[in-house]
Amino acid sequence: MRMLNFKTAGESHGKGLVAIIDGLPAGVEVDIEYINDKLARRQGGYGRGGRMKIEKDRAEVFSGVRSGKTIGSPVALLIHNRDWVNWQEVMAAESKVAEDGVKDNELSIIKDERLKRVEKRVTRPRPGHADLAAALKYNTDDIRNILERASARETAARVAMGGLTDCLLRYFAIDIVSHVIQLGSISAPLEREISFAELKERVYDSPLHCYDKEKEKEMMEYIDKVRQAGDTLGGIVEIRTTSLPVGLGSHTQWDRRLDGRIAQALMSIPAIKGVEIGPAFENTTLPGSKVHDEIFYSDETGYFRKSNRAGGLEGGTSNGQPLIVRIAMKPIPTLYKPLQSVDMETKEPFKASIERSDVTAVPAAGVVAEAMLSFVLAQALLEKFGGDSIEDIIANYQAYLDRINKM
């Protein structure tokens, strides 16, 4: 088991979400308002749906923090679902029988601002979701048992967790930001190299987290058009870091390669179907002489490179440059013009069930990706410089820098 681990719990319309992270050293200052700001950023973005108007996510520290600092034990964070009050009958943990003798799960019940009725028991799987495969796997005839946990609502807990690991990474001057470089067919890649600070300032609170404001306006108009059509949009997000220390990850075993661990973490985000590090797919079209980053040396800076087509990783190990990763998100599969499906109970053809949905959640996926990348980097950093307190880790880190700077 790795030194740093986390788990989440909770359903989309349950009482709330829980994130538990185990392995943080003692003494890390926890900035709860920063964590809540990250949660708010996940909920923002042009093209989000009605659920974002209901929930105002804030993390509550349940354990593992005292006087504003971690104490070395597991940290638990709670996020309460405000929408729970509207779903208590549907999502009750207890099995109940109504006065007329009808079992609880046979009732059809609850008001929703967009949908006329929400059934407690769902039998019509939605194409593109976990609904059918997971219902068969877990031997249930009620798809609500699947969709409540498979929902991207779970990622709020991941963002809270990533806020905690960001608090650790701050001690080592590591920062992370995401920005949208494509929405549907509209592409907006960076046309020139810009500083991390400039990128973060320009995209952090913008409607679609896009650096190119003209393209962002075009994207917003496209979202409006797609919304009217009852459809959804995917896109591509780029995640960048400040320069990482050399030596996170390792070439020595397949499961220690940092690029593989990053890819797995990012692919675990709902609707993410592709990951590239650096301009990986573009690199496949070029000869090697135009792909690999040449190495230079000066007395002032030590080893350095003038390009970063490797995306900050070589041989599964960070090479001292900023990390650049891209993720591809498919269009959200819940459509207000639902696709063809089959009722699992009657086997009759039906239009798939509708749950409240966004037109696009590409900017939000970027915030979740920041959190997952933060966790993987924190995990790798603790494996490399580990200690029981933040002071021990900083001392180990500084001793390592002193050594490699002499080479």
pLDDT in tens, 196-227: 999 999 998 889 999 999 999 999 999 999 99
Residue 44 Cα distances to 11, 51, 183, angstroms: 21, 11, 16
User: What is the gyration radius of the CA atoms in the chain, in angstroms?
Assistant: 23
Q: What string of DSSP letters covers 208-251?
A: T--S-HHHHHHHHHHHHHHHHTT----EEEEEEEEEPPTTSB-S
Q: Which two tokens stand for residue 5?
A: 């681990």
User: Which residue in the block uniquely carries the two structure tokens 């700001």?
Assistant: 37
Per-residue pLDDT of 116-153, as tens digits, reads 445 578 898 989 999 999 999 999 999 999 999 999 99
- Residue 354: which pLDDT band, with cuts at 50, 70 and 90? low
* pTM for the predicted model, two decimal places: 0.92
Please check whether residue 140 is in contact with residue 146, taking contact to mean a CB–CB distance below 8 angstroms.
Answer: yes
> What pLDDT does 343 receive?
93
Q: What string of DSSP letters covers 12-47?
A: TTSSEEEEEEE-PPBTPBP-HHHHHHHHHHHH-STT
Amino acid (one-letter) located at 1: M
| CB-facing half-sphere around the CA of 379: CA atoms within 13 A | 25
Task: Please say if the pLDDT value at position 52 is more than 60.
Answer: no
Instruction: Please report the domains of the chain, with CATH numbers, ordered by start residue.
Output: 5-82+152-334+357-404 (3.60.150.10)
245-261 average pLDDT score = 97
> What pLDDT does 102 receive?
47
128: region left, alpha or beta (phi > 0 left; psi from -120 to 50 alpha)? left
Task: Please say if the pLDDT value at position 16 is more than 90.
Answer: yes
Task: Please say if the pLDDT value at position 114 is more than 90.
Answer: no
Amino acid (one-letter) located at 343: D
Q: Taking the CB of residue 130, how many other CB atoms lie within 10 A of it? A: 18
18-34 average pLDDT score = 98
Separation of alpha carbons 348 and 343, rounded Å: 5
User: Which run of H or of E encompasses 8?
Assistant: strand 5-9
More confident: 315 or 191: 315
> What pLDDT does 106 receive?
44
Per-residue pLDDT of 37-48, as tens digits, reads 999 999 988 876
Sign of CA dihedral 266, 267, 270, 274: positive
